[in-house]
Amino acid sequence: MASHFDIDLLMPAPMMPFVMERLDQAFRVHKLWLAADGDALLAEVSSRIRAIAAGGGAAVTADLMRRLPRLECVAGFGVGYDSIDVQWAGAHGITVTNTPDVLTEEVADTALALTLMAVRRLPQAERYLRAGNWLERPFALTPTLRGRTAGILGLGRIGKAIARRLAACGVPVHYHGRHRQEDVDLPYHATPVDLARAVDVLVVVTPGGVETRGMVDAAVLKALGPNGVLINIARGTVVDEDALIAALRDGTILGAGLDVFAHEPQVPQALLDLDNAVLLPHVGSATTYTRQAMGQLVVDNLVAWAQGRPVLTPVPETPIKVA
């Protein structure tokens, strides 16, 4: 099919079928994962590639971008973009986009559900019923959301949407971020440890990457305390998994609800073996409606760039701002 734009685009990993179809209609797409020899394909097309569509967790490294001298735009699928070296891209005049907003409410819904599941032990109760144990005796009484205080670690779009949901449940909310937000009327804490000490539900919503790697460590978990519950719907790398496993085993904290892990899709057996951990396979935004909206935003960003218009959702490190 002839390209609508006379532009070569690199797709390192598979994306949703309708995204691939629409990009195929608009660009000359080179699908790296289908090549028998990826290096040979890159050598053949590198001088022509002007854009990358990055989905499927594909890493867009400085080494890859350095091989593409005409690269101008990297369109990422997802609100997180720690798999893209945005610092290198920004320093070399390359625009990077992500897909915020369209997944905010879906991920916030998941965070609230995961909080209820972890605090009320709802997955454990279902397993108890399915095993036939209810025929012998009722499921044990559980902790409650009543009387708790929640802390949001990373009060961005998603963090604020989670805070609204928790407030509707009657749960007071505190927060920590890189800076106090003057327009936010919630208690602020200067460090993650300070926040954890003040709450008993800690919801991790901060971006991934080098700056936040291992931010939730043994000291934070100790501050959260034996009645505390950790919820992570951000990136697995933000939490020290070894410290978390130890804290769950020895009662340093009460429980955890995790949608993300350090080495997805590999989940440590030690976590799988813990009954006080609720584990989901990174489904925070995984509904048909939201993923289609995210995919369409990838397409829309690339088309806007190709037409010479401002991209719709540049990341803060990008050299091109929204008009």
Predicted confidence at residue 2, as pLDDT, reads: 39
- Give the whole-angstrom CA distance, residue 73 versus residue 63: 16
Fold equal for 8-102+288-306 and 104-279 = yes
Per-residue burial over 213-222, b if 16 or more Cβ lie within 10 Å, else e, is eebbbeebbb
User: What is the domain partition of the chain in residue ranges?
Assistant: 8-102+288-306, 104-279
- Give the whole-angstrom CA distance, residue 230 versus residue 215: 13
Residue located via tokens 């070296």: 85
**292: CB partners within 8 A, 6+ apart:** 16, 18
Predicted confidence at residue 3, as pLDDT, reads: 52
What global pTM score does this model have? 0.89
Q: Decide: residue 135, CB within 10 A, 0-12 exposed, 13-18 middle, 19+ buried.
A: exposed
| Strand ranges, E, within the chain | 8-11, 28-31, 49-54, 73-76, 95-97, 150-153, 173-176, 201-204, 229-232, 255-258, 277-279
Predicted confidence at residue 319, as pLDDT, reads: 72
pLDDT averaged over every residue in the chain: 95
Q: What is the CATH number of domain 104-279?
A: 3.40.50.720
- Give the whole-angstrom CA distance, residue 276 versus residue 291: 30
Q: Which of 208, 187, 213, 209 is nearest to 198 (CA)?
A: 187
Predicted confidence at residue 4, as pLDDT, reads: 85
Token output for 125:
């109760």
Domain 8-102+288-306: homologous superfamily in CATH: NAD(P)-binding Rossmann-like Domain (3.40.50.720)
Residues of the chain with pLDDT under 70: 1-3, 320-323
* Catalytic residue positions, numbered: 235, 264, 282
Predicted confidence at residue 317, as pLDDT, reads: 86
